[in-house]
Chain A
Amino acid sequence: MISGAITNTGPANRSGANRSGANRSGAGPRTARSSSGAAAGLLPRLLPGGLPAGPTGLADHLASYGPPPRGGDADRRDELIGEVELAGLAGRGGAGFPTARKLAAVAAHRHPVVIGNGTEGEPASAKDKVLMAQSPHLVLDGAVAAADLVGASAAVIVAHPAVSQIVAAAAAQRRHAGFDRVKLTVVPAADRFVAGEASAVVHWLERGVPTPKSTPPRLSERGLHGRPTLVQNVETLAHLALIARYGADWFRGVGTGAEPGSMLVTLAGAVRRPGVHEIAIGTPVAEVLDQAGGPAGPLGGLLIGGYHGTWVDPGRAAALPFSRAGLRPLGATVGAGLLAALPADACGLTETARITRYLADESAGQCGPCVFGLDAVAGQLERLADGRGADVAKLDRWAGQLRSDRGACRHPDGTIRMVASALELFSTEIDEHAGGWCAGTRQGPGVLPVPPGSRR
């Protein structure tokens, strides 16, 4: 098994072209950096090269990537899903589920529908918004490819309200051009933290309420309006669009053996140029931070994965590969690709208390442990942060009670995982706060964003 990142492995391997049905007329996208047909190792794959200058139109999109392969051939579905399996594509929305397995599960049922999930309710994350704003046609290509693979005649893109009009305009352009066999619809997403959970997206489309639901049957059997439903993150769809064009070998040209391909990451907090970047999976954490110009100063912590992620020591993380396997020794995972850097002069407990209060308030309000438990945990963290004194033993007990499978979705578990990692990483600060002292000297608002208008 190859554990490190593979970069610059040369041009895409065309010799594998006979094995699959994927269209390999091009060896990869032509980016602004390289107009002569790109090598597999070159990034970015998903975002236009050079400075972002608004959404890429259909003509420019086709000039960069070439035409998408013609789909709709039911006889070749298994073969093409096999190509996705060979590519090793896993979901980029956070859970990392193998895309081919999801495709096969939905393809087994009649009259399915595809949902492209661009809800991105994670306040610190911007990668799906940036992708949809800059490369809307790549996402739409992927939605069409997914629909072809499962035998669906319609796909709905649920896009964050900040970018939904851009995606809608791109879909309209395709419709007027008669470009797709598949009917594409774009719906603005609910701007809530839990709204991106797959069943919550379905409920949002059905009833205008973005609440998760855990009870059977699965969405792949009965989802949107009772139809078998494929819900895929929009970045996953964009990768799918490229696998459909260039094949599995090309896709595997970057990334690790177990986790192939590239991924979008959002670099937030104390880095010189916060923003969205595309990295080869397995790139060491320090090099990922370098994409954003590196840390803006000494760091006190890194929050990896998202607000359901894990606080880690920057020194311990620096050399580790940014991949699921690479981050496992720290108990962390890549999640939806967030890397948030906390400056050393900020108080980790205060940041954690603020994020936890936000997450508690974002509970959909359905499940008791989430409604009461997260509120109680947030309350104790606030006492811990502001020096009133908290019952840390109680916090530990609650963390144990809320840790696993206590709701219709993973909101309580995910929140508690983040909180538990903070209590571990900032344990010195807990003692200091108990003694009436805080090392955080930074003035002004918090480092990690919570949406404006919320009461934190």
Chain B
Amino acid sequence: MTGARLKVDMAACDGRGLCAEVLPEAIILDDWGFPIITVPELPDQLRGQAGEAVRLCPRLALRLER
């Protein structure tokens, strides 16, 4: 475990869904297309993908907190 947590700024999120495509192991979408974080702490092996998901978010709504 990295001790890092994924956080969504839901007020900024538009539900584009890129994060769930890049990181399906940790992010799923609800019935309206908004992300649900499924892992309380990010496992080490997902670190790279998570960074990618954070970078790809067009609304800058996803962040990694340590």
Contacts and interface: CB of A to CB of B under 8 A. Distances in A.
In which size bucket is the chain A interface? 10 to 19
Size category of the B interface is 10 to 19
A368 B13 contact: yes
B30 A407 contact: no
A376 B31 CA distance: 10
Contact of B10 (A376, A398, A401, A406): A406
Contacts of A369: 10, 30, 32, 34
A408 interface: yes
Interface string B16-30: 000000000000001
| Interface SS majority for chain B | loop
Given A214-B10, A367-B11, A406 B34 contact: yes
Contacts of A366: 10-11
B4 to A, nearest CB: 15
B31 to A, nearest CB: 7
B49 to A, nearest CB: 21
A406 B38 CA distance: 12
Contact of A407 (B10, B14, B32, B33): B10
B10 A372 contact: no
8 closest A-B pairs (Cβ-Cβ)? Answer: A367-B10, A366-B11, A372-B32, A368-B34, A401-B30, A408-B11, A407-B10, A369-B34
Interface of B: 9-11, 13-15, 30-34, 36
25 contacts: A213-B11, A214-B9, A214-B10, A214-B11, A366-B11, A367-B10, A367-B34, A368-B10, A368-B13, A368-B14, A368-B15, A368-B33, A369-B34, A372-B34, A373-B31, A376-B31, A397-B31, A398-B31, A401-B30, A401-B31, A401-B36, A402-B30, A406-B36, A407-B10, A408-B9
